[in-house]
Structure 1
Amino acid sequence: MTRRSLFAAAALALAAAAPQAQAALVIDYANFTGACASSLTCVGSTAVNGGDLRLTPSTFNAAGAGFSTTAISLGAGATFSTGFQFRMDQAGGIDPADGFTFVLSKASSGLGGVGGGLGYQGVANSVAIEFDTYDNGETGGSNHVAVDVNGSLNSLATASPYGVNNCHLGNHLAAGCMSNGKIWSAFVNYDGNTKLLNVSVQESGSALIQLITDFSIDIAAALGTNDAFVGFTAATGSGIENHDILNWQLANDTSITGPGNRLPEPTSLALMSFAGLAALAAGRRRRAA
């Protein structure tokens, strides 16, 4: 499986060949080139690195965040779905650490704490899905995905990918460890009518698995709004790793549940990277030639 194969190549090719109406897709980045200078607010250590959104480099005691410059209108009851690919590599220090979050927040200001704060701790009126690679005493050990609310890391629901609970230096490159440097895909789906949240992940070369199923949570009540700033946070402490987001899609409906079921149409997107548009144009020129 090649880089960005779940999103960019198939999405751009199919969109060019057979455009579809996709008004619900409000964010689409095939990559993040130019994003921090335009459509994303990047704070702390976060910057674009080779087209990836590098939330933190593999350095000690860093924290960063990248989130939408404007609030995104979610569906009824804060309905949304999102898919993105990520990679965490170059672990060092005391252990691979600390992880990152996908976050929805009422306000655009603020960056949470370093280390176990994941760059999210203390962010009020927010909901986050954490992808945690260090054991700070949470259920799920040093390799878990969890649901957090209002800047607290006392997770409401926790699960470990492929049943792998502990990934430390020395075994962190094993299958199932999110810090193993492979490309991972994540899908978060929330229905504001039923107030049920689902989270799935897929390690490159492995099957898609659902980690959190029909978890009951009132996201609209937590946010206090249906218009949210959305994005990512991450942090390192005495343990380090790169935290990279490779691509990202978000819709204000529940259509994104796994790879291949959401395809961008450039004319209907609120956000799209300049690199993605350039790639689409180049493909059309090659076919015309």
Structure 2
Amino acid sequence: MDGVKIECAWHRLRWQCVLSSGFSFVVNPNGSTLHADGFAFFLAPADLHLPGNSSRGYLGLFNPKTALDPSKNQIVAIDFDSYTNDWDPNSPSQSPHIGIDVNSINELEPDNVVAHASINYNSESKHLSVFVAYHGDNRNATVSTTVDLRTVLLEWIRVGFSAATGDLVETHDVLNWVFEAAL
């Protein structure tokens, strides 16, 4: 899916913008008990060039040379990770998991169940939050962090989804998507 260009206003010392996005998705392991690797919702500069060699846990956004080096990236991603890699902060028993990645891949999704994600960012408070609920299930997940997007992104940004698999596979289906930006 191609990203969407949006414009947010730069002010003298502040990048003022409220971003809000919601989408429903299904991660389908296609009957396999072992599957990987996940997908990500991302914000990046409009001229983003996705790196080569970005399969597996790199989710199509990073590669072995860029994944752990924030100086080589300008990206914010919410990853819906279905496999625990060496760099993940969680143990394998805590996979799948959700993470917020800022310029690096360092950072709970049941299989084959429709999930609804809500992502919100407020430039004034610099608060980025993710809430995920699963249809027909009382479990949900919330992840949040403080990040100043004006120090990570440029004035024009690309917004979209990226996914990857490796030896283990699964499909990632975005069922619907809403994205809003208010200046």
Which of the five TM-score ranges fits, normalised by the shorter chain?
0.7 to 0.9
- For residues 62-116 of structure 1, what are the alpha-carbon distances to aligned partners after superposition, in whole Å with 9 as ceiling and x for unaligned? xxxx322xx2124653420100011111347782210000000113442240001
Instruction: With the length of structure 2 as denominator, give the TM-score of the two structures.
Output: 0.79
- Say which SS state the counterpart of residue 96 (structure 1) adopts: coil
Which residue, out of 196, 204, 211, partners 2:127? 196
Larger Rg: 1
1:73 aligns with 2:7: yes
Q: Distance in 2 between the 1:142 and 1:204 partners? A: 19
Classify 1:108/1:247 alpha carbon distance in 2 versus 1 (closer, same or farther; 3 Å): farther
Q: Is the 8 A contact 1:93 1:238 kept in 2?
A: no
Matches within 5 A, 1:137-216: 137=86, 138-140=88-90, 141-150=94-103, 152-155=104-107, 161=108, 178-207=109-138, 209-213=140-144, 215-216=145-146
- Say which SS state the counterpart of residue 16 (structure 2) adopts: helix
Q: Is the 8 A contact 2:21 2:177 kept in 1?
A: yes
Q: Partner letter of residue 223 of structure 1?
A: L
Q: Distance in 1 between the 2:58 and 2:30 partners? A: 18
Structure 1 alignment gaps of length 5 or more:
1-41, 43-65, 156-160, 162-177, 255-289
Aligned-residue RMSD, C-alpha:
2.3
- Say which SS state the counterpart of residue 102 (structure 1) adopts: strand
Q: Is the 8 A contact 1:188 1:199 kept in 2?
A: yes
**Which structure has greater strand proportion?**
2
Give the C-alpha shift of residue 120 in structure 1. 1.2
Structure 2 alignment gaps of length 5 or more:
10-14, 67-71
Q: Distance in 1 between the 2:115 and 2:161 partners? A: 15
Q: Is the 8 A contact 1:91 1:97 kept in 2?
A: no
Q: Distance in 2 between the 1:72 and 1:208 partners? A: 33
Q: Distance in 2 between the 1:85 and 1:233 partners? A: 15
Classify 1:154/1:135 alpha carbon distance in 2 versus 1 (closer, same or farther; 3 Å): same
1:116 match? 57
Larger relative contact order (CA 8 Å, sep ≥ 6)? 2
